[in-house]
Amino acid sequence: MSTLLDVDNLWVKFPTRNGIFDAVRGVSFSLGRERLGIVGESGSGKSLTGRAILRLIRNPGIVEAGHISLHGENLLDKSEKDMRAIRGEKISMVMQDPKFSLNPVMTVGDQIIEAYRLHAKASKSEAYKKSVEMLEAVAIRDPKRVMKAYPHEMSGGMGQRIMIAMMLIPNPEILIADEPTSALDVSVQGQVLSIMDKLVKDRGMGLLFISHDLNLVSQFCDRVLIMYSGRIVEVCDADKLHEAQHPYTKGLLGSLPKFDEPSDRLQVLTRDPAWRDAPSVEGRA
Amino acid sequence: MSSTHYNPKRQPRLPLPSWLKGTLVTLASISVTMLGLLFVTFFIGRVMPIEPVLAVVGERATQEQYHAAYLELGLDKPLIVQFSYYVWDVLHGDFGMSLLTARPVSDDIGRVFPATMELATIGITIGIVLGVPLGVIAAVRRGSWIDQIARVVALVGYSMPIFWLGLMGLLLFYGVLGWVGGPGRQGIFYEDMIPSVTGMILVDSALARDWGAFRDAFSHIILPASLLGYYSLAYISRMTRSFMLEQLSAEYVTTARVKGMSEWAVVWRHAFRNIRVQLITVIALSYANLLEGSVLTEIIFSWPGIGNYLTTALLSADMNAVLGATVVVGLIFICLNIFSDLLYKIFDPRSK
């Protein structure tokens, strides 16, 4: 499998009053044309890993890494201007809640057209046509009406599909999906995921799927990285998640209720301080 | 009952188009607010310890003269009837005679208000044109030297007494350097040379194509307008900065960056569009404050504006003038409020 993205020894640090806080501590992994899941609890550094790849960690955060390479080119060496050509066009990101991630005072159409025209030399009418097609591709009914609508007039599921359309319209190679379904009703989660899955597969993209939902990730992804406290503690194939070895992964799985083996009490996850200091596992395929 | 279908209570609806309905609602709200304003000014006028009859007839009037004036003013009638007379007069633009100028108050206001309006408009324009970009840049470059300079500029604008700044400005730019005209609206040479159309000398001289008079009026207005502009700049830039900081940390701004937009476009196309409504509120309030008449500035620059007029009237117990000017100031506030409500609807799709 060809490697699209390779991350080597990534650190994300935040200076605080009590010294430097390491939010991500030496994470290495690679992403091919596959669906790679990153699972972890809040504060495990999974979202920051995604944002660090796009170099979107704002001041005063510090990103350090051996390299973050896209097709062998180190993104850390790029100027801000070169990065702008990569964001959206090569690597894109869908965020958690469409209520906040869409601009409330711009029409849906303007926002999608803008995303397209930033990277493609296209006239307004071409961009409009392309945007309508893209909305159709994410199963939006009556896309011409939606183009004229404002984000607050959309439901959460529609909003997230619009977000996916907007992020995929410049035809990127990698999509980072940062908890894309966490803000949605369970009833529309499946629909949004299958639309995203289909588009990613058809275009042969790499998907980095960040989530806290183990079950979802095991069903949806090819490979899973389990993060804890800024490090990768375990890497496994998604379909072999139940064979996981690490006590943290086992603990997480054990704390979920199972329909096929009901039990009176669920396990409580007890965290071993030694996990924090164990070296990071390499997440390369 | 066997019938179970939903039968909502029918509401009587007027068959009117929605824009007309909107206008009627607005008009109704204006009239109610206006009536409240008139009510308050009327009763303030009645509870003031000033004998209205004596104020008219003077202290040496005979008892008959006094009584005649008493009836003339309608003071024998119940308060509510007096109030209705008052409202009726005001609706006809009649605020009574000013004791000080011996002219109708409405004429006086028609003369002093354009002077204030001219000053306030140039002042607020300076405040917006410089204050908004300053606030945006300070927010984008938070913590940098630009932010620090913007902070000091605003702090000085806030805390320096405006009369002191005015005097120092006159001393430096008029007295020493001679760059600007002195106090007053015009040089003596140009006084009463321009036919009054709007009462705003800059506009009138431009209409008359008298560019000498225009330059003269401009050299007189620029210093006081800059001072008022500086004062509103201080407020507008601080508010802009805090509105922008809030927006720049919003998730849709990250979205715009993920799309690959330049920082400039992220700031102005995305973040700035979201602060327009808040900014309008701040600007409308500053403008209303300036239109109310900045008494200190008007006095220092001998500017014959409404602040000056109101203060002089108040000090000489000229109640008709005070009440008239108060009603006008209140009306300005109401109009600006309605205007900014209109702009909200244009700028924020969620308020429709």
Dump pLDDT digits (tens) for B314-336. Answer: 888 788 888 889 888 888 888 88
- Taking only the tens place, the pLDDT of each residue in B77-92 is 888 888 888 888 888 8
Q: For chain A, say whether B274 makes contact (Cβ under 8 Å).
A: yes
- Gap between the Cα atoms of A126 and A129, Å rounded: 5
For residue B100, name the pLDDT band (cuts at 50, 70, 90): confident
Pick among 1.10.340.30, 1.20.1250.20, 3.50.50.60, 3.40.50.300: CATH of A35-46+82-277: 3.40.50.300
**Residue B12: pLDDT over 60:** no
Instruction: Calculate mean pLDDT across residues B35-40.
Output: 89
B184: three-class secondary structure by DSSP: coil
Residue B4: pLDDT band with limits 50, 70, 90: low
Q: Do A35 and A209 touch, CB atoms closer than 8 A?
A: yes
DSSP structure class, residue B274: G
Query: Which of B255, B257, B269 faces A102 most closely, judged by CB atoms?
Result: B255
Confidence of residue A168 (pLDDT cuts 50, 70, 90): very high
**pLDDT score at B59:** 75
pLDDT of residue B1: 46
A93: part of which helix (H) or strand (E)? strand A91-94
The CATH number that domain B114-351 falls under is 1.10.3720.10
Closest-CA residue to B280 (of B331, B234, B344, B229): B344
Q: Is the pLDDT of residue B283 over 90?
A: yes
pLDDT at B208: 83
Q: What is the ipTM of this complex?
A: 0.90
User: Is residue B2 scored above 60 in pLDDT?
Assistant: no
Which residue did the predictor score with more confidence, A168 or B77? A168
Mean pLDDT of B299-320: 88
Closest CA to B224 of B156, B158, B293, B153: B293
Q: Which of A20-29, A60-69, B6-15, B261-270 has the lowest mean pLDDT?
A: B6-15
Termini Cα distance of chain A: 9
Instruction: Give the residue from A103, A111, A117 with the most B CB atoms within 10 Å of its CB, the best one to mutate.
Output: A103
Domain boundaries, given as residue ranges, for chain B: 18-91, 114-351
Average pLDDT over every residue of B330-345:
87
Chain A CB within 8 Å of residue B144 CB:
no
Decide if A110 touches B, using CB distance below 8 A.
Answer: no
Between vectors from CA B257 to CA B251 and to CA B263, what angle results, nearest 5°?
115
For B204-217, what is each residue's pLDDT tens digit? 888 888 888 888 88
Res A116 pLDDT > 90: yes
Query: In this predicted structure, what is the pLDDT of residue B14?
Result: 61
Interatomic CA distance for residues B245 and A230, integer angstroms: 29
Within 13 Å, how many C-alpha atoms sit on residue A7's CB side?
A: 26
- Work out the mean pLDDT of chain B and round it to a whole number: 86
Q: What is the pLDDT of residues B18-27, one digit of tens each?
A: 778 878 888 8
Quick check: A88 and B273 CB within 8 A? no
* pLDDT for A1: 55
Contact criterion met (CB < 8 Å) for B259 and A118: yes
Does B348 touch chain A if contact means CB atoms closer than 8 Å?
yes
Q: Could you tell me the pLDDT band of residue B228, with boundaries at 50, 70 and 90?
A: very high
**Smallest CA–CA separation between A209 and chain B, in Å?**
16
Question: How far apart (Å, rounded) are the C-alpha atoms in residues A48 and A68?
Answer: 14
Distance CA B257, CA B268 (A): 13
What pLDDT, on a 0 to 100 scale, did the predictor assign at position B8?
57
**Predicted confidence (pLDDT) per residue in B165-200, tens digit:** 889 998 999 888 988 888 888 877 777 777 777 888
Is B246 part of the contact surface with chain A (CB cutoff 8 Å)?
Answer: no
Confidence of residue B5 (pLDDT cuts 50, 70, 90): low
Residue B338 has pLDDT above 70, yes or no: yes
Identity of the residue in B258, B261, B273 whose CB atom sits nearest the CB atom of A106 = B273
B282 pLDDT band (50/70/90 cuts)?
Answer: very high
In the numeric block, the tokens 């502009």 are attached to: B229
